[in-house]
Homo-oligomer: A and B are copies of this chain.
């Protein structure tokens, strides 16, 4: 693994992934959904909190939580994944939150349509992007900032984009953005700005830290790179059998095993999942269950496995989507350690 820094460990102790056995749950229980918080969780008083919708609009809005709740409530089940998921599997390891594969979760989010609010405010001529500002403040890359990200106007006006005030039927927990967060199904986690204070229509593309410096796929530090946006396909297996506490190595009893997992892609619907029990030398199709939770949620898959003898196996799963995106066998390294969707490998010992 190389040397971990105190900073990485501090981040790993605060933030957390979803233990992979929680893949059995269609909706991730609160507290098991992954969490990445750049700065501190801000303390927000819901009585005095207001959302500003301002900038290049015809009628600026200032809305409290009750006013937002009075508007039509829409709900979406959405799988969210951190753009840095898989980072700690890169070599050399980019220094940031050291995710292995657990930075994912699926929530039943509810709130108000962003498009509805933008239509109420009236998008003025010249607006090209919508800037979202959170109440979490800190220093990153030497720059003091509120956490801010923008979306192109066309994306912001999509049907499925919410300002969410509920997760799994309850008010947002503090760590997921109470009282209001952005929710853009299919986009990596940093898009979904938490603890929203303002939604601002702007006439030039936003060039703030999280947009222009962070979250780009770069092979060299000083190149511009491609922005990280929609989630690449990934399949993850629930690790079968029982774990070793320290190594997490799995022990499985000889006999038929139903492997199961979940697969998702923000680029296009999942088209198929394949499983390998020999480390990726040979693959076979998994059974893909219906997309009962809708387009933006992960899909369950199963695979009937009958190990032929008591020995070590290396289980793998890979997803492909309808746009032809497939998970690579090996990671594609980049400076920030983003969007590493190389196939999962689970060593198991059958006894």
Residues of A within 8 A of B (CB): 1-7, 9-17, 19, 21-22, 24-25, 29-33, 35, 37-41, 43, 88, 95-96, 98-100, 102, 137-140, 144, 173-176, 239, 242-248, 251
Contacts and interface: CB of A to CB of B under 8 A. Distances in A.
A244 B139 contact: yes
27 contacts: A1-B9, A3-B3, A7-B246, A7-B247, A7-B248, A12-B12, A13-B98, A13-B100, A13-B102, A16-B35, A19-B40, A19-B41, A19-B175, A21-B41, A22-B41, A22-B174, A25-B174, A29-B173, A30-B30, A31-B33, A32-B41, A32-B175, A40-B239, A40-B243, A138-B242, A139-B244, A139-B251
Given A31-B30, A242-B39, A5 B1 contact: yes
A287 B21 CA distance: 44
Please state the number of chain copies in the assembly: 2
A12 to B, nearest CB: 4
Contact of A245 (B16, B25, B38): B38
A242 B137 contact: yes
B4 A9 contact: yes
Nearest to A95: B246
Nearest to A6: B1
A244 B138 contact: yes
A9 B139 CA distance: 25
Contacts of A243: 39-40, 138-139
A56 B242 CA distance: 31
Contacts of A39: 242-243, 245
B139 A242 contact: yes
Contacts of A99: 13
Nearest to A24: B43
Given A2-B3, A10-B248, 18 more contacts: A4-B9, A9-B12, A9-B98, A11-B246, A13-B98, A14-B16, A16-B16, A21-B41, A25-B174, A29-B173, A29-B174, A31-B173, A31-B176, A39-B243, A137-B242, A138-B243, A139-B243, A140-B244
A213 to B, nearest CB: 12
A144 B242 contact: yes
A4 B7 contact: no
Contacts of A38: 245
A191 to B, nearest CB: 17
A139 B1 contact: no
Contacts of A32: 41, 173-175
B246 A102 contact: no
A22 B10 CA distance: 15
Given A31-B175, A242-B40, A244-B139, A100 B9 contact: yes
Contacts of A247: 7, 10
A217 to B, nearest CB: 19
Top 9 nearest A-B pairs (CB, nearest first) are A16-B16, A31-B31, A4-B4, A12-B12, A140-B245, A21-B40, A139-B244, A13-B17, A14-B19
